[in-house]
Amino acid sequence: MADVVRIGVVGAGSIAVRGIMPHLSQEDLRDRVRLAAVCDPVPGRAEAAKERFGVERAFVSYEDLLARGEVDAVTIASPIGLHYAQGRQALEAGKHIHFNKTMTTTVAEATDLIETARRKGLKIVASPGEMLRPHNQQIKKLIAEGALGTLCWAACGAAFGTYHEKERVRQGSDVLSNIDPSWYYRKPGGGPLYDMTVYALHGITGILGPARRVTSLSGVRIREREFRGQMVPCDADDNTLMLLDFGGSLFGLAYGMAAGRLTEGFMGSYFGTGGSIVGLKLNGEPFDYPGRDLAAQAPAGRGNQWLLPHVVGPHREIEEQHVYEDIMQLVDWIREDKPTIVTAEHGRHVVDIIESAYRSAETGQAQALTTTF
């Protein structure tokens, strides 16, 4: 077993300030994790995060964090378009990686990271670990046992809305509360597919297995957004409909839209000849799964977060529990050589779906997926 894992946080933006650093600075982790370093290019932001969360070192430069931060692993919480380059640098520096979603924006990038990590003996965990959730494991079991008869189709997805503009860490006057969300609306890496639908796609492929083909319509519906009185131009697609082919004439509808939703949260809906699962209901009635009673005790929106393996004690009261869980999956893997189901290969397959969907929309042709997990 390795000693305490020294973690560097790459980016002191919204996810890091609301979730990652509050979790990793808790006393109950001192025997397993050290919050060793944080970096952010905004002047003063990393230093402010260091003071608030008790991080050992603060850097403006990512390169300085890798060279002088004394870290074993990094959690990359920067804008998605930066993930590949920063991941490559981390691997070259000999660091294990947790990627906040989404791992990369292309299959070629993800494959390069996977092969480099394998060659160097390093570990990658790629969020989101949707199949760690007991309800998703139970849905997979119910379908396999024939509870829906012959499964015919499924649906999943998410919508942007305005939540990034309105988050509490974006409305203040100091460097930890005036975080600009503009990158979410720009290429590369912006848009609801990489940011939100990624959860739904990890869930549906975890339950049904890898998809084989994708056909898509996609474009930019909202051309400008307002943030703190300024108009933000948007060029990342924010309105995408995808048809997924899982083989054997089993199909799925997936979406990432500017507004509205067909499904419940990031959960899928599954329809068969003998019934349906919509959210947490089988044929209109709640189905049982391990921990359901505990989930019912949690505040609204956090129930199934409480069932993740490491979300105990103070971590139940901190935001973004699923991100913390995925980081701890990496910590356990490093310390105990205990592999996780939250794999880079699964992350790459979801990237394949998204990249191929955009290509389908551009060409008007169905795209064969080249990856599996």
pLDDT of residue 163: 83
Cβ proximity of 127 and 278 under 8 Å: no
How far from chain centre, in Å, is Cα 201?
Answer: 10
pLDDT of residue 301: 76
Q: For the chain, which residues make up each domain, given as ranges?
A: 5-129, 130-321+350-368
| Angle between helices 134-144 and 198-208 in degrees, nearest 10 | 40
CA dihedral sign, ordered 361, 364, 369, 370: negative
The average pLDDT across 161-189 equals 94
The average pLDDT across 142-156 equals 98
Residues near 184 by beta carbon (within 8 Å), at least 6 away in sequence: 160, 164, 190, 191, 195, 236
- Sheet architecture: strand order including 281-282: 285-286, 281-282, 275-278, 269-272, 151-159, 251-257, 239-245, 213-219, 367-368
Could you tell me where the beta strands, DSSP code E, fall in the chain? 5-10, 33-39, 57-59, 73-76, 96-99, 124-126, 151-159, 213-219, 224-227, 230-233, 239-245, 251-257, 269-272, 275-278, 281-282, 285-286, 367-368
How far from chain centre, in Å, is Cα 355?
Answer: 16
**Structure confidence by residue, pLDDT tens digits, 231-265:** 999 999 999 999 999 999 999 999 999 999 999 99
Q: Give the DSSP per-residue string, 188-207.
A: TT-SHIIIIIHHHHHHHHHH
User: Tokens in use for 204?
Assistant: 């549906």
Architecture of domain 5-129: 3-Layer(aba) Sandwich (3.40)
Q: Residue 86 above 80 pLDDT?
A: yes
pLDDT of residue 2: 63
The average pLDDT across 336-350 equals 97
pLDDT of residue 182: 97
If one counts every other C-beta atom within 10 angstroms of the C-beta of residue 61, the result is 13
pLDDT of residue 212: 98
DSSP class of 343:
B
What residues does 260 pair with on adjacent strands? none
DSSP class of 100:
P
Separation of alpha carbons 94 and 122, rounded Å? 7
Cβ proximity of 364 and 351 under 8 Å: no
Band (pLDDT 50/70/90 cuts) for residue 290 is: very high
More confident residue, 2 or 70: 70
Cβ proximity of 106 and 233 under 8 Å: no
Band (pLDDT 50/70/90 cuts) for residue 300 is: confident
Q: Of 3.30.300.20, 3.30.360.10, 3.40.190.10, 1.20.1630.10, which CATH number belongs to 130-321+350-368?
A: 3.30.360.10
Average pLDDT, the chain: 97
What ranges in 148-265 are assigned the alpha helix state H? 163-166, 192, 198-208
Give the range among 9-18, 159-168, 220-229, 272-281 with minimum mean pLDDT.
159-168
The average pLDDT across 99-115 equals 98
* Type of residue found at 366: A
Same fold, 5-129 and 130-321+350-368: no
Q: Residue 28 above 60 pLDDT?
A: yes
pTM of the model: 0.97
The rounded percent of the chain whose pLDDT value lies above 70 is 99
The average pLDDT across 256-275 equals 96
Q: Residue 65 above 60 pLDDT?
A: yes
pLDDT of residue 1: 54
